Every structure is written in structure tokens, then in C-alpha cells.
Amino acid sequence: MTSLHHGLLNARRFARRSFASSLALALCGTLSLAAATVVRGAERTAEATLSSGTSLQQIDLEPRAEDSAAKRLTPSTLAAVAAMKGVRSVEPVLQASFDSGADASLPPFLLHATSARTAVPPPMSRQVREAVFPLRGHEVVLPVVGDGQDLTGLLGRTVSVSYTQRIGENRGTPVTDRVTVVGLYDPSWQLDGPNAAYAATPLVAKWAAAREGVETGRYLETRGFAKATVVTSGPGAVGGVLDRLHEQRFHAYAVADRVRELPVLLELFRWGALLLLGLLAVAAAVTGAGLGSGLLRERVHEIGLLRAVGRTRREVAAGFAVEFGATGLAAGAAGALLGTVGGVLAVRGLAGVEIFAGRLPDGLVLPGPWAVTATFLLPAAAVLLGAARPLRRAVRTDPTRALRDW
């Protein structure tokens, strides 16, 4: 009987004894791999977002009111940014609220008019013409569902909406404007927040300035834009443009870095997966140490018999190493299988939760090969590592003494 055969027979024979330990290892592996699969799904979604459009070429600028040295995003400062080497265009962003006003024919809604950017177009569901962007005049693009209201009936219509005109300290009056709805977009796309509607920047600036009670030009030069998107000439130009923007005291960051940056809850999944993987290694090492110690206490006579019939220390050690390794591999295989299934189900379930909207894909997501390999092999490796010292002591036991003690 070879050492391999002997080890496998013993692993099967003593499987019931090690069942609790194997179950704990499999559970750690399952949870770790499932969490890693969720994170992989989020990373896949981020990369898919970056691969579409010009995201890899974009830099976002934001004002910082708490930083007196940071530049405001006024028309003059953004014009200077547009003149930088490597910059293809600069698209400023403003927001201003508007509602359905007194028009009883409209569903009641309150939306946030947002500057439309050709570099970051929303995913269109329906539209009145093939190329909606850039928007012209008083054209707007609304979400299919906004502020809880179905807005599909407004497509193609010119309707009256209301915005606020400031007339004194803490006093405002509603003012009516006419807009034409030229498109509807998927509301699950919330890059600019929930209930965003898109309009040309001059129209949004007019409404924002009215709310402050100042002329539009003065509003833009004193308050500035809420943010701006800088489109570079290519992904390779982002680093140089970003450095120049920082030198000129702009608060700037690459869109690719922000998209790849996972929200706190998904970062917890990432760290949870690593923590559980570490716990798996520790638990497997403890299991191996326990199995090895059992050799000294309960199965020393078995070692004596094997040595008495002519087995060398190396052959005896190999047989027990196969036994312990098989226990670890069984736990790893169970963890890898259950973790893969659990990860697929977790991604599908969490993709429908509002907090993960747009962060997880709807399709099938499988764990990465390295994560599966680690879940499968780590328990066996850690079990063998934990059992190494007691196993070495056991096989060095004098066979005559082992048989006499028995």
C-alpha cells in the first residue's frame, strides 16, 4: 500500500472526526469568496463605465469653499483651463431646481435642472431626434420617472414650468418658463444625483441666478459653477493636465480614479473578504496543529506498526501529510464551490438594492481565478503548515517504545 493510498484511506476513515473543523474552514472560504465576487462585480461595472465614452480622458474640477486658496470655477478661470496644452474641451456644470408649477395638466414634480455635457451623456430611453445633444435653447431631457412621477407623457411637448425669482431677504416668487422635452433617460443613471433633468448651461445659469436675485453674468463670476468636466486629448494626457491644474490651485481629480473608487459598503466587502481569508488560514493552521497533536496522543501505535513492518520515517510522514492535506483540500473544494454559487447569488440580489444601483452588473459574475485558487488551496497548505511540527515529532518516535506503550 503506497503512502498516497494509505493517507487517502485514513482521511476517509477519520472524516467524521474532522468534520466540524472542515465545516468551519468551508464556511470561512464560502463567505470570503462570495464577498470577493461582489467586489469583482463592482470592479467590472467600473471598468465597463470607463471603457464607454471618454471617461478615461476626463478630469473633474470642484470648488472648495473651505479652501480660500482654491480657485472658483468662473467663466474666466475655465477659459484659462480650456487653453491649456492637452485639453480638448471644458464643460461646466450648474444645477437649479424647477417644478411643474400651476399647470394642472402636468404631474406634480420637483426636478434639478443640470448642465448637459456632451462628454457625459445620460443613457437615453426615448428621444424626439437621433442626436439630442447638445441641447439648444429651452430644450430639456427628463428622467423617465422623476420625483416619483411617470414623465413619459411629456416627451415631445412644450410645457410651462416654474422656477424661483428672489425678490428680497428670504423672499421669492415663482416665475414661469417654457421648455420643450426632447428626450427621456434611464433614471437608474444617477451621476448627477436623483431627479436630475438636463438643460443647456445658459438656461440653468438663468434659473440659478434668479434664485440668488442677481444678473446671470454676475452670478457666474462671483459664485461660479458647481463643477466642471475637463476632456483631455487622450488618456495619456490626463497626468500632465492634472499636474498643471494642481499647480494652479484647482481641486481636480481624474474621473477614472473616482469611478474605480468603491463606496464604503463595497470596500467593507473587500476588507471582509481579506479578513475571512486570513481567518481561514489561521483556522486551518490550528486544525492542522490539532490533527498533528492527535498523532502523539491517539495514533502513536499506528506509527509504531508502520515502522515495524518496514516503513521509513519519510513514508510514514508522507502518508499522514496526504491525510491532512486531503482534509484541507476537501474543505477548500467545498468553500470554493459554495463561495462561487453564493457570490453569483449575492451579486444578483444586491444589484437590485437601491444603495448598489449602478455599482453592480445585472448579468452573471463569477469570482476571479486567483480568488478561487486561494480558497481551494489555502486550507490544505495551512493545515500542513500547522501539522508540520507535531508530525515531525510523531514520526521520530521510537517504534519499540510506541508499540510497548500501546
Q: What is the pLDDT of residues 122-154, one digit of tens each?
A: 989 999 999 899 999 999 999 999 999 999 999
Does residue 347 surpass a pLDDT of 90? no
Q: For the residues 231-243, what does the mean pLDDT come to?
A: 89
Q: Are residues 323 and 254 in the same domain?
A: no
* Least confident range of 76-85, 147-156, 257-266, 304-313: 304-313
Q: Give the Cα-Cα-Cα angle 39, 44, 46 (nearest 5 degrees).
A: 95
* Number of domains making up the chain: 2
How is residue 309 written as a grid cell?
513492518
Using pLDDT thresholds of 50, 70 and 90, give the confidence band for residue 235. Answer: confident
CA distances from 346 to 33, 280, 349 (A): 11, 20, 5
Residues 114 and 224 in one domain: yes
- Of the listed ranges 5-19, 177-191, 316-330, 333-347, the one predicted with least confidence: 5-19
Tell me: do 328 and 356 sit in the same domain: yes
Same domain, 111 and 222: yes
**pLDDT surpasses 60 at 403:** no
| Whether 222 and 194 share a structural domain | yes
Residue 91: band (very low, low, confident or very high) from pLDDT cuts 50, 70, 90: very high
231: closest CA among 72, 73, 55? 55
Place of cell 476571479: 368
What's the pLDDT at 209?
A: 94
pLDDT at 3: 52
One domain for residues 269 and 226: no
> Is residue 226 over pLDDT 50?
yes
- Which pairing describes strands 139-143 and 196-199: parallel, antiparallel, or unpaired? antiparallel
DSSP string computed for 87-124:
EEEEEEE-EEEEE-TT-TTSPP-EEEEEE--TTS---E
The confidence score (pLDDT) of residue 120 equals: 84
If asked whether residues 253 and 393 sit together in one domain, one would say: no
d(CA 383, CA 60): 50
Q: 86 vs 120, which has greater pLDDT?
A: 86
Residues 252 and 330 in one domain: no
The last residue of a domain, from among 239, 260, 281: 260
279: domain range?
2-51+261-405
In this prediction the pTM is 0.62
Q: Which span out of 12-21, 63-72, 188-197, 217-226 was modeled with the highest average pLDDT?
A: 217-226
**DSSP letter for each residue of 301-336:** HHHHHHHHTT--HHHHHHHHHHHHHHHHHHHHHHHH
Question: What percentage of residues in the chain have a pLDDT greater than 90?
Answer: 37
Max mean pLDDT among 64-68, 219-223, 305-309, 363-367 falls in 219-223
Q: Residue 7 pLDDT more than 50?
A: no
pLDDT for position 330: 86
Candidate from 234-243, 254-263, 324-333, 337-346 with smallest mean pLDDT: 254-263
Same domain, 283 and 314: yes
Tell me: do 135 and 222 sit in the same domain.
Answer: yes
Question: Three-class SS of residue 224?
Answer: coil
